[in-house]
């Protein structure tokens, strides 16, 4: 059977999962489905693309129903460098240009080693940066703009938007020859201190 958007939604509803109510989120108690327990057969690729700005597209057109995007985001799974939408009965491949989420806000509490950074994505997922949800920065070349990320869940990252990254830089400090950030008891290295000299 050829995979389809309607088919995915139908199999989720049939599973009777909380995500089938088109409201899954990564908030505590948000009812994310147990995707890690599902291992259905691969049914092929679906023409769904998550753009680098976090928008979802199906067959070239943007999916504008936020509830549907949240539903699909709740069943997103990463295996190696590939991304899939998974239900109890099927697994379909999709394309992700960069990271599947965008961190659009960050709140800081505490100071120094007691600092806690809490991120919110464009879909309402919330996560605190810590050892299980690390921060990282990619910079392929000295001329390239840094690309910061935070882990949301199970190998799925959010790219941190520019305004939030600037706020993080203001909160940064130097520790063991690195400039970085404390959060959740962990220090996340962003750049060698020497690069900022």
Asked whether residue 81 carries a pLDDT value surpassing 90, the answer given is yes
How far is the CA of 65 from the CAs of 9, 31, 71, in angstroms?
13, 19, 10
More confident residue, 62 or 36: 62
Give the residue numbers spanning the domain of 12: 5-96
pLDDT of residue 91: 94
Alpha-carbon gap, residue 133 to 164, rounded angstroms: 17
Quick one: 105 and 188 in the same domain?
A: yes
The domain boundary, picked from 96, 117, 138, lies at: 96
pTM for this entry? 0.85
Quick one: 91 and 172 in the same domain?
A: no
Write the pLDDT tens digit of every residue in 99-132: 999 999 999 999 999 999 999 999 999 999 999 9
pLDDT of residue 84: 97
The domain boundary, picked from 68, 96, 124, lies at: 96
Write the pLDDT tens digit of every residue in 123-139: 999 999 999 999 999 98
The domain boundary, picked from 56, 71, 96, lies at: 96
Read off the pLDDT band of 30 (50, 70, 90).
low
The count of structural domains within the chain is 2
Say if strands 116-121 and 101-109 run parallel, antiparallel, or are unpaired: antiparallel
pLDDT of residue 2: 67
Quick one: 45 and 132 in the same domain?
A: no
What does the mean pLDDT of the chain come to?
Answer: 88
Task: Check: CB of residue 26 under 8 Å from CB of residue 68.
Answer: no
pLDDT of residue 83: 98
């Amino acid at each position: 059977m050829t995979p389809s958007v309607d088919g995915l939604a139908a199999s989720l509803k049939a599973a009777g999962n909380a995500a089938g109510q088109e409201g899954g989120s990564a908030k505590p108690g948000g009812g994310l489905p147990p995707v890690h327990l599902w291992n259905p057969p691969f049914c092929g690729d679906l023409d769904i693309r998550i753009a680098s700005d976090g928008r979802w597209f199906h067959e070239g057109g943007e999916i504008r129903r936020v509830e549907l995007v949240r539903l699909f985001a709740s069943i997103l799974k990463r295996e190696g460098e590939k991304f899939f939408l998974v239900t109890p009965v099927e697994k379909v491949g999709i394309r992700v240009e960069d990271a599947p989420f965008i961190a659009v806000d960050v709140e800081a509490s505490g100071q120094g080693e007691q600092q806690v950074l809490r991120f919110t994505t464009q879909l309402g997922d919330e996560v605190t940066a810590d050892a299980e949800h690390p921060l990282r920065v990619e910079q392929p070349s000295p001329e390239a703009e840094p690309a910061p990320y935070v882990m949301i869940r199970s190998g799925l990252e959010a790219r941190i938007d520019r305004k939030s990254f600037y706020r993080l830089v203001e909160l940064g400090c130097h520790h063991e020859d690195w400039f970085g950030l404390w959060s959740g008891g962990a220090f996340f290295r962003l750049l060698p201190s020497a690069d900022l000299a």
